[in-house]
Structure 1
Amino acid sequence: KLLRLAGVDQLHTGAIVGKMEGNVREILEMNEWLRSDFYGLKPVLPVASGGVDPTRVPRLLDLAGTELVINAGGGIHGHPCGTRAGARALRQSMDAWMAGKSLRDYAKTHVELGQALEEWGNR
């Protein structure tokens, strides 16, 4: 509550998936509270990071929704074809989720996502 009173606009709350997994219910409740009305203060955008790569995005979005920041450092920079390909793969994983397609199917026409699936597996 103090951070919100201090005016933060983003706060790392846990990834739900990845190496910084926490209790799903607790993280989702915290995310909801950060976006709720609190004495007229602006909401805070939850940040999910820590082991997030393109293979984990669909589960993260299924659980947490789209009102959050996905901070995927290693999941972008660790792509076998470099940072630009990693950024594309992460975006492609979000696009696949929004289109209701599996990552495997979407990767058939999206090279960078296919490379990410080879690197990290289809978790």
Structure 2
Amino acid sequence: GVDQLHTGAIVGKMEGNVREILEMNEWLRSDFYGLKPVLPVASGGVDPTRVPRLLDLAGTELVINAGGGIHGHPCGTRAGARALRQSMDAWMAGKSLRDYAKTHVELGQALEEWGNR
């Protein structure tokens, strides 16, 4: 079977038609003749600055596969993982990335690297 399927990032370098991607994501999670749902995967140019828009559009029932957005962090992979998590935490708290970065160093470094998109 299939547990996960790449459907596009909506944001990033593998952007697609937002409506089509969201419809595909919904279909994968639906009850389809008794098959288990499939978790959509968003990847391709996803970095911490793009996470809030991705979550706004696609919600939280997906995998965020941010290889370059983690490993490309100027202070390394661990800092990149922290920055990605911090961007999700900021979104969940309803705070802007800029405000959240004032107290979260790794996110601030990511904003310097990739800009506040």
TM-score by length of 1: 0.95
| Cα distance between partner residues in 2 of 1:28 and 1:41 | 20
Report SS of the residue matched to 1:17: coil
Query: In the TM superposition, what are the counterparts of 1:37-48 in structure 2 within 5 Å?
Result: 37-48=31-42
Aligned to 1:115: 109
Cα displacement (A) at 1:80: 0.2
Counterpart-to-counterpart distance in 1, 2:33 and 2:27: 12
Deviation for aligned residue 1:83: 0.1
TM superposition score normalised by structure 2: 1.00
Please state how far the C-alpha of 1:63 moved relative to its aligned partner: 0.1
Identity of aligned residues (%): 100
Deviation at residue 51 of structure 1 after TM alignment: 0.1
Alpha-carbon displacement from aligned partner over 1:14-34 (angstroms, at most 9, x marks no partner) = 000000000000000000000
Write the distance in 1 (CA, Å) between the matches of 2:84 and 2:76. Answer: 12
Find 2:11's aligned residue among 9, 17, 21: 17
In 1, distance between residues paired with 2:114 and 2:22? 25
Matches of 1:88 and 1:40 in 2, distance apart? 38
Aligned-pair RMSD on alpha carbons? 0.3
Task: Measure the CA separation in 2 of the matches of 1:108 and 1:31.
Answer: 34
Q: Any gaps of 5 or more consecutive residues in structure 2?
A: none
Structure 1 runs of 4+ aligned residues shifted over 6 Å read none
Q: Deviations over 1:73-104 (max 9, x none)?
A: 00000000000000000000000000000000
User: Which aligned pairs between 1:16-35 and structure 2 lie closer than 5 A?
Assistant: 16-35=10-29
